[in-house]
Amino acid sequence: MHVIHKKTTLIPSEISAIERLIDMCNTHDSLHMRIEKSMLCERPGNMVNDYLYYEDGQLVGYLSADSWGKKDKEITGMVHPDYRRRGIGRALFEAAREEYKRNGVQMLIFVCEHASQSGRAFLETTGAEHAYSEHYMVLGNFKERGQVKEGLEMRLATESDIPAITTILATDTGNVEEVKAWVTDAMKDPHQRTYFATLHGKPLGCVRLDFMEKVTGIYGFEVRLGYRGLGYGRQMLEQLISIARAESDRPVILEVLTDNTNAIGLYHSVGFEIRTTYDYYELPLLLRQATDKPFACHSERSEESTSSRAEILRFAQNDNEAAQ
């Protein structure tokens, strides 16, 4: 007998069962699915974000949606290796699609590791279309140059910096109100720390550290147009890495669009290495209003977008800084 439980919050036994299923699927398929325990423990309870498929009392399928998306929902799913090709993935997909369509969600964004051929094949049968891909990069040997640009200062952001940070991040997306809401929420999150950079006292850029359970992530990295490719981004990045390493021995990671060659070059030069690649598939549920522009917080990800931890929606990093 099978049943799907749709949950707005999770109890400890459910979280433990989900973690075991994630570990089993990652090991079996040599994957790296990113579902943070902290996110599961801190569900807000205002919308269904977890779909648990049980077969005779055993959790054999699971679909997770981000907690912070309203118009867009970023989704990751899995099925126990011994229970595949039984329609479990399809059942979870249909349950989520109907739930979010009923609640006014406009777009589902499915995250699938590029190495998962079966996952990509399944998504292609759902009507979802590949939108973009991101490399997941991990810092190896930190190659610090220590060059200092005159007049550049980076400090913890305060509430008074939100308008300037919003302007910087909205340069590429154009979605000012949603970016402002995301920045405000991020600054309230105890697991996140936003930094604001100035050049001779004027706004230059911003970047965020996410202190996650197993890694420290760099997100929301943006340098103002007109100042990219001049070494400011590298100095900000080196300073941020030093902060992260001083506070924790967890690996430092970031995500970047696969076609952002300038940013990838910068990250390689600092010591980051590509560990895996994630493909993102989009499935529209409702027509967007004319004023609505896609805001991929996937990675929260603006290049984020990211989105993300995702961002996830992990705000995609606007990391357009050219390698120096």
Residues contacting residue 288 through CB under 8 Å, at least 6 positions apart: 71, 106, 107, 294
243 three-state secondary structure: helix
- The beta-strand segments (E) located in the chain are 2-7, 50-55, 58-65, 72-79, 107-113, 129-139, 152-156, 192-199, 202-211, 216-223, 252-257, 272-284
The pLDDT of residue 171: 79
Does residue 230 have a pLDDT over 70?
yes
- Position of tokens 């230059």? 204
Is residue 72 within 8 A of residue 295, CB to CB? The reply is yes
What is the residue type of 236? M
Residue 307 has pLDDT above 90, yes or no: no
Supply 12's token pair: 């400890």
Tell me the mean pLDDT in the region 182-208. 95
Domains and CATH numbers, the chain: 2-133 (3.40.630.30), 139-276 (3.40.630.30)
Strand order in the sheet with 252-257: 2-7, 50-55, 58-65, 72-79, 107-113, 272-284, 129-139, 252-257, 216-223, 202-211, 192-199, 152-156
Q: Give me 122's structure tokens.
A: 């399944």
Span 103-108, average pLDDT? 94
If we measure between CA atoms, which residue out of 56, 34, 227, 16 comes closest to residue 113?
Answer: 34
CA dist 169 and 129 (Å) reads 26
pTM of the model: 0.84
3-state secondary structure at position 17: helix
Confidence at residue 138, expressed as pLDDT on a 0 to 100 scale: 98
